[in-house]
A = this chain, B = another copy of it.
């Protein structure tokens, strides 16, 4: 790239798959990336830009002249074009849209007008729609002549004169039918459809549940406006899982490996700050029992064990609960049963670990009273943890907060506070430390 050897680069890279072109872009120094694209010219597949980190893509697009981008975006499927444009600010978007032919511009603008994360943003506007009275032969002739076809497609749709969706037909069924057969006799009409404003995660859930490969998108008047294919849904599902994992770990969903140190520090600060507040809350419980701790330092040594064991058991329950909520497997119909189950699991593990910890603590500090106290506190805290682990995510879901994001803080606050309070409280009473 540095040698500006355009011909040689074309030879090397032009046949790369878009995903590999994307990986190559990411591996390059930031200032060489736009340069490579300009050198490759027509041989650069703009679809490669859908494969790179958001930050990398936005940087590249800002460097490139609007005409180059417009030229590259023009040949893409509309869903890829929207994906590339949606991250830009309004001004840059308009500049690129203005450089496009009118028909493309209108179509892209329409998609961009749908809210983020809606089916309208994800859908592909190019599709094959035919009237029900056509024959298979007519459809085949139409396909052969049509110019503006999607890059690849698996089914054709059947619409009435008002462009309302009547049904669909997979290509394999089309291929295997008699050329004289009328489409309306072949089409499947009981078809799950997606509304243009549906949330992308709901759409992904539908694909997954019914093993769909593609689904038609209709507007409020049931008019066919686009099609969503499973390859986009794979990305949505993956992103959803990714967001959930990051949320559970206290990391923002948009954090990427290419972020700077300062940006990363700032973005993680908030979560840590909330956790610091809860840590102080837990410590203030310890502060309440300062007198007891002074009289019996073994309590200070053992208290973190009760809190940590409760925290880990609660995290197990919470993980199951958050996962089941995300998969729509946990709802009002089984909430009660699952809560009872988790409480019983907490009780059983509480008794088991209570006895175990009790014996070890008795031996360590040669005081079986201490063993009894820590055993009781462990049972209390593991039951509290189990209940917190299941009830807190369900409550957050009820109040339309994302359980994956904030359950962790609340749940470990419960187990820290209950753990310290029960252990030191029981100890103060048992030993008469007041």
Query: B-contacting residues of A (Cβ < 8 Å)?
Result: 15, 17, 19, 27, 140, 143-144, 149, 152-154, 170-172, 174-177, 190, 207-213, 230-231, 233-235, 237-238, 241-242, 244-246, 248-251, 255, 257, 261-262, 264-265, 268-269, 271-273, 275-276, 279-280, 282-283, 286-287, 290, 293-294, 297, 300-305, 307-309, 312-313, 315-316, 318-320, 322-324, 329-330, 333-334, 338, 341, 344-345, 348-349, 352-353, 356-357, 360, 364, 416
How distant is A250 from chain B, measured CB to nearest CB, in Å? 5
Q: Interface SS of chain A: helix, strand, loop or mixed? A: helix
Asked if residues B283 and A302 are in contact (CB atoms below 8 Å), the reply is yes
Taking CB atoms, residues of chain B closer than 8 Å to A353 are: 272-273, 276
Taking CB atoms, residues of chain B closer than 8 Å to A230 are: 213, 230-231, 234
Which one of B207, B244, B356 lies within 8 Å of A234 (CB-CB)? B207
Which one of B207, B275, B319, B357 lies within 8 Å of A250 (CB-CB)? B319
Which one of B143, B320, B364 lies within 8 Å of A176 (CB-CB)? B143
- Which of A283, A287, A330: most chain B CB closer than 10 A? A283
Asked if residues B305 and A280 are in contact (CB atoms below 8 Å), the reply is yes
For this complex, 28 residue pairs linking A to B, each with C-beta atoms less than 8 Å apart, are A19-B209, A19-B211, A152-B172, A154-B154, A171-B172, A175-B175, A208-B238, A241-B242, A241-B245, A245-B323, A249-B315, A251-B316, A261-B341, A264-B341, A264-B345, A265-B352, A268-B316, A272-B316, A272-B349, A275-B312, A276-B305, A276-B357, A286-B301, A287-B301, A287-B364, A293-B300, A293-B301, A294-B294
Taking CB atoms, residues of chain B closer than 8 Å to A171 are: 154, 171-172, 175
Taking CB atoms, residues of chain B closer than 8 Å to A177 are: 144
- Across the interface, name the chain B residue whose C-beta is closest to A378: B276
Complexed CA–CA distance, A392 and B272 (Å): 21
Asked if residues A316 and B271 are in contact (CB atoms below 8 Å), the reply is yes
- Which of A210, A233, A318: most chain B CB closer than 10 A? A210
Asked if residues B154 and A250 are in contact (CB atoms below 8 Å), the reply is no
Asked if residues B286 and A293 are in contact (CB atoms below 8 Å), the reply is no
Asked if residues A305 and B283 are in contact (CB atoms below 8 Å), the reply is yes
- How many copies of this chain does one complex carry? 2
- Across the interface, name the chain B residue whose C-beta is closest to A291: B297
Taking CB atoms, residues of chain B closer than 8 Å to A282 are: 304, 308
Complexed CA–CA distance, A308 and B417 (Å): 13
Taking CB atoms, residues of chain B closer than 8 Å to A323 are: 242, 245-246
Asked if residues B309 and A275 are in contact (CB atoms below 8 Å), the reply is yes
Taking CB atoms, residues of chain B closer than 8 Å to A209 are: 19
Asked if residues B312 and A272 are in contact (CB atoms below 8 Å), the reply is yes
Taking CB atoms, residues of chain B closer than 8 Å to A211 are: 19, 231, 234
Complexed CA–CA distance, A251 and B342 (Å): 13
Asked if residues A286 and B300 are in contact (CB atoms below 8 Å), the reply is yes
Taking CB atoms, residues of chain B closer than 8 Å to A262 are: 348
Asked if residues B257 and A320 are in contact (CB atoms below 8 Å), the reply is yes
Asked if residues A330 and B257 are in contact (CB atoms below 8 Å), the reply is yes
Taking CB atoms, residues of chain B closer than 8 Å to A210 are: 17, 19
Taking CB atoms, residues of chain B closer than 8 Å to A15 are: 190
Other than A241-B242, A283-B302, give 4 A-B pairs with Cβ distance below 8 A.
A233-B234, A249-B316, A286-B301, A303-B304
Asked if residues A248 and B308 are in contact (CB atoms below 8 Å), the reply is no
Asked if residues B250 and A248 are in contact (CB atoms below 8 Å), the reply is no
Asked if residues A154 and B241 are in contact (CB atoms below 8 Å), the reply is no
Asked if residues A170 and B143 are in contact (CB atoms below 8 Å), the reply is no
Asked if residues B309 and A283 are in contact (CB atoms below 8 Å), the reply is no
Complexed CA–CA distance, A250 and B293 (Å): 32
Complexed CA–CA distance, A21 and B207 (Å): 16
Asked if residues A309 and B257 are in contact (CB atoms below 8 Å), the reply is no
Which one of B249, B301, B303 lies within 8 Å of A248 (CB-CB)? B249
- Across the interface, name the chain B residue whose C-beta is closest to A338: B257
